[in-house]
């Protein structure tokens, strides 16, 4: 379909190939000529568990923000398959460069979601060690991390490491110059990096049509790297396509752009009001393609899982949510003197001076009996 698409006239640049799909919205398993996948029932149940947990943690983030415990929360609702499917293609030795909505990827990599919640509570600006789980810090400036992932991958190639980097970004990010530069650097240096674009159709209020005249996966053509569109609500397809792209990268065959065609069911963040710019009919249309529901249907239809399993997963996720809620609520504010920590690795006299100044200022209240 891709080649047929390319033959069309410039006037039809919005034409796109059908996304790679292995599990239909009604839960039927289908085959794809290029992307076959052999998944055991146990793995299927694992993917289901991951997605349910991701949705539960995400819901907890929204709730905690509504309760005033978080300053902000960017919900992943609807993108569980894109995140879990791709993240489960990541192996030890690979490195993930996330954006800021990739809580499901973080969970799959073993990052404690408390670290993510701390960030949106205003307690830290990150703070986890990227080397612990091969999961780098969230990046809030749109698209910047695509270059970091590319540079990191260039370094991996120099080291002769058998790993790859994967970078997450959205449809809006594809308009950023940094993303184009990253595609180009990756292509020129043949860097082992996978560009995983979650096209959730909306960059806050702007639809993808405002970002690009061509389907996003076809951006890859001009840079000389393969581009593939995958059903982003199909966890199996996301796993298969990302797995193949990561394997290509690890084997020295260079970068790939994956466009996961999905939908942001919730608001951009808890500060956003999507009713101002999109129809409820559109949301309903995508609700019918729900990534968790389709795998649940498939698991039940194939008898790979029963209701007891589903209940147990729900219960476990709920417990995780409750644990996070309690921990977030009791999370203390950082010590104000931490403002001056880690500004530099080797120190800086001005930071030392201002730290001392701040300490004297604070101490002045204690001396006068203030509080």
Q: 303 or 350: whose CB is closer to another protein? A: 350
Q: How far is the CB of 39 from another protein (least distance, A)?
A: 32
Catalytic residue, chosen from 55, 56, 95, 268, is 268
Q: 132 or 314: whose CB is closer to another protein? A: 132
What does the block give as tokens for 329? 């609520």
Residues 137 and 146: beta-carbon distance below 8 Å: no
The residues of the shown chain that bind another protein, judged by CB under 8 A, are 124-131, 136-137, 139, 141, 144, 146-156, 158-159, 165, 177-178, 181-182, 184-185, 188, 341-346, 348-351
What does the block give as tokens for 346? 């080797």
Q: Is 268 a catalytic residue?
A: yes
Q: How far is the CB of 333 from another protein (least distance, A)?
A: 15
Catalytic residue, chosen from 14, 66, 277, 344, is 277
203: β partners:
206
For the chain, counts of helices (H) and of strands (E)? 14, 7
Rounded to 5 degrees, φ, ψ at 264 are -85, 100
Q: How far is the CB of 213 from another protein (least distance, A)?
A: 22
Rounded to 5 degrees, φ, ψ at 183 are -55, -45
CA distance 294 to 51: 12
Helices (H), ranges, the chain: 2-6, 41-66, 80-87, 103-109, 113-121, 130-133, 144-159, 177-189, 219-223, 235-250, 280-287, 291-301, 307-329, 349-367
Q: 280 or 357: whose CB is closer to another protein? A: 357
What does the block give as tokens for 272? 């956003």
Q: How far is the CB of 141 from another protein (least distance, A)?
A: 5
Q: 127 or 336: whose CB is closer to another protein? A: 127
Catalytic residue, chosen from 55, 148, 218, 264, is 264
Q: Is 342 left (phi over 0), alpha (psi -120 to 50) or beta?
A: left
Q: How far is the CB of 166 from another protein (least distance, A)?
A: 13
Q: 43 or 181: whose CB is closer to another protein? A: 181
Residues 42 and 52: beta-carbon distance below 8 Å: no
Active-site annotation, residues: 264, 268, 277
């Amino acid at each position: 379909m891709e080649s047929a698409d390319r033959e069309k006239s410039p006037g039809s640049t919005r034409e796109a190939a059908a996304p790679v799909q292995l599990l239909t919205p009604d839960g039927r398993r289908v085959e794809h000529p290029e992307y076959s996948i052999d998944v055991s029932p146990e793995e299927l149940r694992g993917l289901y568990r991951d997605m349910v947990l991701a949705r539960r943690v995400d819901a907890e983030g929204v709730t905690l923000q509504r309760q005033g415990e978080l300053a902000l929360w960017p919900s992943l609702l609807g993108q569980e398959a894109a995140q879990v499917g791709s993240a489960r293609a990541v192996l030890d030795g690979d490195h993930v460069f996330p954006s800021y909505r990739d809580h499901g990827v973080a969970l799959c990599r073993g990052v404690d979601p408390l670290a993510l919640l701390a960030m949106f509570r205003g307690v830290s600006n990150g703070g986890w060690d990227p080397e612990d789980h091969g999961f780098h810090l969230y990046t809030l400036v749109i698209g910047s991390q695509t270059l970091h992932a590319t540079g990191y991958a260039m370094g991996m190639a120099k080291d002769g490491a058998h790993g790859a980097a994967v970078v997450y970004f959205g449809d809006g990010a594809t308009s950023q110059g940094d993303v184009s530069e990253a595609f180009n650097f990756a292509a020129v240096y043949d860097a082992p990096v996978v560009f995983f674009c979650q096209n959730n159709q909306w960059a806050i209020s702007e639809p993808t049509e405002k970002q690009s005249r061509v389907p996003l996966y076809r951006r890859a053509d001009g840079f000389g790297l393969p581009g593939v569109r995958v059903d982003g609500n199909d966890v199996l397809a996301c796993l298969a396509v990302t797995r193949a792209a990561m394997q290509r990268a690890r084997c020295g065959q260079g970068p790939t752009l994956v466009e996961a065609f999905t939908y942001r069911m919730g608001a951009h963040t808890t500060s956003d009001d999507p009713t101002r710019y999109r129809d409820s009919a559109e949301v309903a249309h995508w609700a019918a393609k729900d990534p968790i529901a389709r795998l649940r249907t498939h698991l039940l239809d194939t008898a790979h899982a029963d209701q007891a399993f589903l209940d147990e997963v729900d219960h476990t996720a709920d417990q995780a949510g409750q644990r996070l809620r309690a921990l977030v609520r009791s999370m203390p504010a950082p010590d104000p003197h931490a403002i001056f920590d880690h500004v530099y690795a080797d120190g800086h006299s001005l930071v030392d001076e201002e730290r001392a100044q701040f300490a004297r200022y604070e101490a002045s209240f204690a001396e006068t009996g203030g509080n």
